[in-house]
Amino acid sequence: MILFQKVTKKYGKETALQDIDFTFEQGKIYGLVGANGSGKSTTLKMIAGLVQPTSGSVSVNGKKANRKIAADVSYLTELDMFYEGFTVLDMLEFSASQFQDLNMETAYELISYMALDKDKKIKELSKGNRGRLKLVISLSRKVPVLLLDEPFSGLDPMVRESIVKGLLHYIDFDRQTVIIATHEIAEIEPLLDDVVVINQGHFAAHFHVETLREQYGLSVVEWMRENIKQL
């Protein structure tokens, strides 16, 4: 469980998040959606312990979210965080040295599934394959919380499809809390339990995807087209 209590985050005079009270429940997959600058990345960075609230608190399974929370949280950033001279295998082994929960057997399975060459240097990988490698590292960790920040950024449709299939196969749906911040909501909608809409630093809407479909006959994309301007 991830708990936000009266959380406000400011960068100088700019307010990224304002007075957030919210609980992300264990065993659910959340879509975190909103315009650029709405607060999505700040939300994920707070859960990962990389950013601290200006006021309020963030906790993960009862522990304060600070840099020590990395043992419980796998965070896929939109940015590349690779050593260019490493091979794919070097990067996996280095990651395993940093995170004791990284399962190399799962990593090898994912390398094969993602069609990555373990001996190829990072600097020789295409953007799509670098995106695949980031996902391999994230999904190979056996942690309670998985955070994915724009996992489809700049990737072609075929790569996106393989990533969604990888998520379906390697996520532990009973034990993990997964939060995906993305603009590409249509690709991941079949995965989602809940959607949280962030607008101008506020959690402006929260709904269950299945309820939206059954009661209103709407997809998430259709709901957003009808309602986003009113938030």
- 197: helix, coil or strand? strand
> Residue 195: which of 175, 217, 178 has the closest Cα?
178
Residue-number span of the structural domain to which 132 is assigned: 2-230
Entry pTM: 0.90
Residue owning tokens 């724009």: 150
* Tokens linked to 166: 């990888």
CATH number at residue 27: 3.40.50.300
Interval 46-74: pLDDT, tens: 999 999 999 999 999 999 999 999 899 99
In the prediction, which pLDDT does 182 show? 86
